[in-house]
Chain A
């Protein structure tokens, strides 16, 4: 691979740009703004604000969505889900499941789920 190309790929990797663009795409598709350029500017400003802890990152899912997701997983309405389901949910959203220390028979309640999700989502944006 030519030196220039290697450099460029390294740059992309270092700043996690492909993932960022992926998220921008997801946001664009979900909201379908009339003026995509202004929308993108707003989103990026929010990333900046989140970085400085001045505001919230542009999460695609809000609390209601997270609850809805829990509802989808907790089919029988037991009020809790298993760790395997929790891991799958994180994977589906593209969040990391690396540092999850959960035994297989622990039950995860809605609140724990919400907390965990929030933390993971925050983590995933804070690299920017």
Chain B
């Protein structure tokens, strides 16, 4: 029996072999942070294609045993005096040296940081042909004037080869202080020459490592640079693999959830599910569940959780939701419902909380009007009715009356904190902005991969 979908294996297999769903199931593995199998498979495939072993099975076993998918492979590059050190040696020799060193067990297990190499296109190509691909490349940059100034103050400890600076990084030990000498090739002329060469080579390297590269401003305090670099190297790269969004929108009434849900559904072809609508549709369609739900809707009482859950699970497990993804608003309303959702094996991969100050909520909701003839929705301030004739017949939905708004808000606020704790990886949206600005923000959160979680 499959724990995931409760199907017995022949049925499961026949579903698996209809390719659309296999990709969804891969994503469950990928997105589930406690079971990150997919990046491992991806890395394994990369290695297979780089080395093309004759016995792929044996190679895969060894690769998996190494367990070094999370080991960092980083290059730190930048102009002279941006914060690294350089020496002159022929390119081919470099490539061999580096490959040898990087094949050592410690590098394979723990990962490596390569500093100041490759310096030009040729070296970069040599690295690539030896099968060495950094996962992250950090390019430090700063204006030339700053760099020339910095290199003026550079001092070297001949004993330990450590680099210090007269202004920014002066050693506290007086013995070390006395030993420090000015590095040989450090006249302003020399530095300018090096900088020129660097600028010449830089665009090609940038081009080669574009996809894994990030430029970081080195003209800041070193702790700031460090924190930016760390944040970058801990991110996983955006994979080109398809991704089925399963999005939850939380927010007070009037925060724009249904608008954003509609925009997302339209652009990304996902199914838009509003819990309230779902219930009303069930009643209108006279389904079995609809009949059970009807008395609650009619009397205005909240529908019991088990009924709502049944309707939702049914809807969310239908083929279009499974293959295209979904965006859900209006459920869960409290942590208990959230837990039940989890138990029903419905796990969202992006959760958003909309934030909107009280005054804006009141403003948006209390002025909502609907035209009973056309069904068009208007707002007295933001989207007034076009003609006085229409305006005259506009009506307000009783749930948008002030005291009812208050009630709905109170319910929301009493539950939201617990929900925020329950959905820890959620994104927070400032809903007090133009809808398209909000949409772009939500989009960016959906598209970028979730950050690496350290186990």
Contact = CB atoms under 8 A, between A and B. Distances in A.
Interface string A1-13: 0000001100110
B35 A69 contact: no
A26 interface: yes
Q: Is the interface of B mostly helix, strand, loop or mixed?
A: helix
B48 A93 contact: no
A26 B3 contact: no
A68 to B, nearest CB: 6
Contacts of A45: 61
B323 interface: no
A15 B54 CA distance: 9
A45 B62 CA distance: 10
A70 to B, nearest CB: 9
Contact of B10 (A21, A47, A69, A94): A69
Nearest to A23: B16
Nearest to B15: A92
A45 B49 CA distance: 21
Interface residues of B, number: 34
Given A29-B29, A37-B40, A65-B9, A128 B49 contact: no
A110 interface: no
A36 B61 contact: no
Given A41-B61, A44-B57, A36 B22 contact: no
Nearest to A18: B45
A17 interface: yes
A108 interface: no
Interface extent on A, as a size class?
Answer: 35 or more
B104 interface: no
B13 interface: yes
A36 B455 CA distance: 14
Residue with the highest number of chain A CB atoms closer than 10 Å, among B11, B16, B26, B45? B16
A45 B25 CA distance: 24
B10 A29 contact: no
Contact of B49 (A11, A21, A29, A32): A11
B289 interface: no
A122 interface: no
A26 B10 contact: no
A89 to B, nearest CB: 8
Contacts of A72: 10-11
Interface in B18-60: 22, 25-26, 28-29, 35-37, 40-41, 45, 48-49, 52, 56-58, 60
Nearest to B8: A68
B418 interface: no
A28 B49 contact: no
B64 interface: yes
B25 A40 contact: no
Nearest to A69: B10
Nearest to B2: A30
B45 A15 contact: no
Nearest to A35: B35
Interface of B: 2-4, 8-14, 16-17, 22, 25-26, 28-29, 35-37, 40-41, 45, 48-49, 52, 56-58, 60-61, 64-65, 67
Given A8-B52, A37-B37, 12 more contacts: A11-B48, A25-B41, A28-B29, A29-B29, A32-B35, A36-B35, A40-B40, A44-B64, A68-B9, A69-B10, A92-B17, A94-B17
11 contacts: A15-B56, A20-B56, A29-B4, A29-B16, A30-B4, A32-B35, A37-B37, A51-B57, A60-B9, A65-B10, A93-B13
